[in-house]
Structure 1
Amino acid sequence: MSYAQAVNETVRALRTIRGQWAALLLAIETPPADHWPPRQLAHTMREGDDEQLVEDRAPLVLREHPAPLNLAALDAGRGVERLIFDLADTLAAAVQRTGEGDPRGWVCVDPRAPDSHRAAGSRRHGLHWACVWIEGRVLDEDTAPEHELDGAVSAPPFEVLPLYLLHEARRTARIAEARVLRALGLDRRETPLPEPCPWCGGELTLHSAPDGPPSVTCSGGRTCAAPVPLDSGERARVWEWDDLPELIAALGVDIPTAA
């Protein structure tokens, strides 16, 4: 694997985690849902959802959860936080040379601190900040000498990330990304739906993938009268993202109940 590919895959995984984190927090506070209708479509169609303010939420590993509605999502979230926070600790120990009080620095956990706030270090800022900070190290940001106002040149706040740590960052970020996507049902999978096609009685299959919206196919192919196009092989009718609400309505699925 090339250096550029390792960087790109790591950055993509970190951004996916950040992009899906609000959905995972919402899942923790929502009873476990079936795979159908797709979680992201159910949230889109359901009225009254409040947008999650992710940046204002304390990290899962630093707060109590007296009655979580979805233990699987909570376990996934805690596991992802630990992976990302521990990775930040590892990278900071290896390449960080910031001075005390430099806001660019990652502060590791300090159990000797006088209060829990300072003991948590940078972890108290949450997963979003940790992902952004790690991305900066992967992209070798702030690794050049800095010029002070008086003309003096100071050492860079960070060293270039060694190749072995880049690969460790890639491995960890991809594991964490997979856990988030799996918890949300957004990993690559094909799931038969319990209901037959309303137009022909054929078998319906839900297709999900981490790099695109879900779709549904009907095995009826040309014999199916559903008002959606055939796939490229003309073997199945395909409901893409924009067509799924019509299919859900035809199946009589109650979105508020299902989601």
Structure 2
Amino acid sequence: MHETVRALRTIRGRWAELLLAIEEPPADHWPPRQLAHTMRESDEQLVVEDRSPLVLREHPAPINLGALDAGRGVERLVFDLADTLAAAVQRTEQGDPRAWLSADPSAPDSRRAAGSRVHGLHWACVWIEGRVQDEDTAPERELDGALAPPPFEVLPLHLLHEARRTARIAEARVLRALGLDQRDTPLPEPCPWCEGELTLHSAPDGPPAVTCSGGRACSAPVPLDSRERARVWEWDDLPELIAALGVDLSAVAAA
């Protein structure tokens, strides 16, 4: 359950970045895109709740087709998972705002045909998280004091496993599209201090870092790794390395 919730929250937290990436050229792996974005003069904010789902609209002239494909694929995974869970455990009336309404292609109105998908990926992730955590599964007291059946049943184990599998696949697609997945990428430039090989290390659960193969022989003003085999530029040290390599980070951020 905890892995599923974490994956869903990662998807939600990175969704605005993915939507922005659709409208930008594919980002190079170097310099790290997170560091370049912190240099932007204008703070780009995107209210994703106001954006129609990608699967329900035509995207005008996408620049990054890989990001667009990833976004559409993630939406389908998450929306289809919500449909599956709702069919299995939802017992509330459709007028209940907590209810997930599955798509109905036969409906004449496009918004009604889309069901709850029209509210976008954020709402779908929040709704699935509620099912995974067995929210609203206790009987509810009505105005006359009587107990009414709960809006949702407890999620059975096989669907809990399915939710975990789907959420992790969707999370991986988002992170991969943004270049934030686990990867080690050799840089084309050698270390400015010792000519050793530089490698960029990225991971979904932390900022990127760069290591130099020169180890103790390298005179770079950064510490060695835990095995004392490589110099390491952590997040706060990366601007110094980028400057030493002659990269104009402000120009990258403005691109």
So what's the TM-score if we normalise by structure 2? Answer: 0.96
Partner of 1:132: 126
Partner of 1:12: 6
- In structure 1, what is the Cα distance between the partners aligned to 2:212 and 2:218? 8
Q: Which moved more, 1:119-128 or 1:51-60?
A: 51-60
Task: Label 1:201 to 1:46 Cα distance change in 2 as closer, same or farther (>3 A).
Answer: farther
Counterparts in 2 of 1:53-64, with a 5 A limit? 53-64=47-58
- In structure 2, what is the Cα distance between the partners aligned to 1:122 and 1:100? 11
Partner of 2:217: 223
Match of 1:94 among 84, 88, 91: 88
- In structure 2, what is the Cα distance between the partners aligned to 1:220 and 1:213? 22
Letter in 2 for 1:56: D
Match of 1:209 among 203, 211, 215: 203
Q: Secondary structure at the match of 2:198?
A: strand
Gaps of 5+ in 2: none
How far off its partner does 1:256 sit? 4.9
Partner of 2:138: 144
Structure 1 residues 171-191: Cα deviation after superposition (integer angstroms, max 9, x where no partner): 100100110111111111100
How far off its partner does 1:65 sit? 1.5
Match of 2:162 among 149, 155, 168: 168
Q: Secondary structure at the match of 1:79?
A: helix
Matched, 1:250 2:239: no
Match of 2:19 among 25, 28, 36: 25
Partner of 1:158: 152
Match of 1:79 among 69, 73, 76: 73
Q: Secondary structure at the match of 2:152?
A: coil
How far off its partner does 1:40 sit? 1.3
Percent identity between matched residues is: 84
- In structure 2, what is the Cα distance between the partners aligned to 1:256 and 1:137? 44
How far off its partner does 1:257 sit? 4.6
Letter in 2 for 1:181: L
Structure 1 residues 47-105: Cα deviation after superposition (integer angstroms, max 9, x where no partner): 22411211111111111113101000000000000000000000000000111210000
- In structure 2, what is the Cα distance between the partners aligned to 1:66 and 1:104? 32
Matched, 1:35 2:29: yes
Q: Secondary structure at the match of 2:71?
A: helix
Answer whether contact 1:33 1:258 (CA < 8 A) is retained. Answer: no
How far off its partner does 1:16 sit? 0.9
Kindly tell me the number of residue pairs found equivalent between the two proteins.
Answer: 253
Q: Secondary structure at the match of 1:26?
A: helix
Answer whether contact 1:98 1:158 (CA < 8 A) is retained. Answer: yes
Partner of 1:3: none
Partner of 2:59: 65
CA RMSD, 1 decimal: 1.2
Answer whether contact 1:84 1:131 (CA < 8 A) is retained. Answer: yes
Matched, 1:196 2:228: no
Answer whether contact 1:46 1:255 (CA < 8 A) is retained. Answer: no
Instruction: Name segments (4+ residues, structure 1) moved above 6 Å.
Output: none
- In structure 2, what is the Cα distance between the partners aligned to 1:49 and 1:196? 33
- In structure 2, what is the Cα distance between the partners aligned to 1:72 and 1:85? 20
Q: Which moved more, 1:57-66 or 1:202-211?
A: 57-66
So what's the TM-score if we normalise by structure 1? Answer: 0.95
